[in-house]
Amino acid sequence: MSNQRIKTPCVGLCSTVYGDLVCRGCKRFHHEVVNWNLYGDEEKRAVWRRLESLLVQVMEAKVEVFDALSLRRQLEERQVRFLPEQSPYCWAYQLIARGSRVINRLEAYGLVLLPEFRDWTLPALRDAIDREFFLLSEAHYERYIAPRFLREGMEIRV
């Protein structure tokens, strides 16, 4: 695997430049994308933890990681970048996101699709995971972040 440390959640598909409040690529909030390089380690860790928890929620509903060691080995052999400190379910997402068109037997990677998704193609599953991850991030923004920004905007006007 590349020795290069993943320094940002950015995946190079930023939609915040087009006005989205949640990036469709990395799922960060617009202010997190803009301020990322100003954040300290703890702020960055908080963003990474939120993204991880939302992605794990989506992934656990669709796949089972039955052999995390095998999954990790496969990722390393194929030089798929992942964060070792994250959940194996995040690793599984990286595998599916990068290899959905070339993987024939998911079991060889230590993964199995849950019964309700076994007839899905991996590209279709990847797209569904990405959509659900985005919707969860957007819902989190609307529930916890937007009201704070609205309140702060009101205080400035008063």
Residue 112, H or E segment: strand 111-113
Q: Which of 65, 66, 54 is nearest to 129 (CA)?
A: 54
The C-alpha R_g of the chain, in whole angstroms, comes to 17
What is the domain extent for residue 28?
A: 16-157
- Does 36 fall in a domain? yes
Is residue 7 situated within a structural domain?
no
Report if residue 42 sits inside a domain.
yes
Provide the pLDDT for residue 2: 47
Please give the chain's pLDDT, 158 residues, in tens.
444 567 889 888 888 878 889 999 999 999 999 999 999 999 999 999 999 999 999 999 999 999 999 999 999 999 999 999 999 999 999 999 999 999 999 999 999 999 999 999 999 999 999 999 999 999 999 998 888 766 665 454 43
In this prediction the pTM is: 0.88
Q: Tell whether 92 is covered by a domain.
A: yes
53 lies in some domain: yes
In a domain, 98, yes or no: yes
Please state the domain count of the chain.
1
- List Cβ neighbours of 141 (8 Å cut-off, separation of 6 or more): 21, 22, 29
Backbone torsions φ then ψ of 113, nearest 5 degrees: -75, 145
Is 6 within the bounds of a domain?
no
**CB environment 73-106: b (16+ within 10 A), e (fewer):** ebbeeeebebeeebbbbbbbbbbbebbbeebeeb
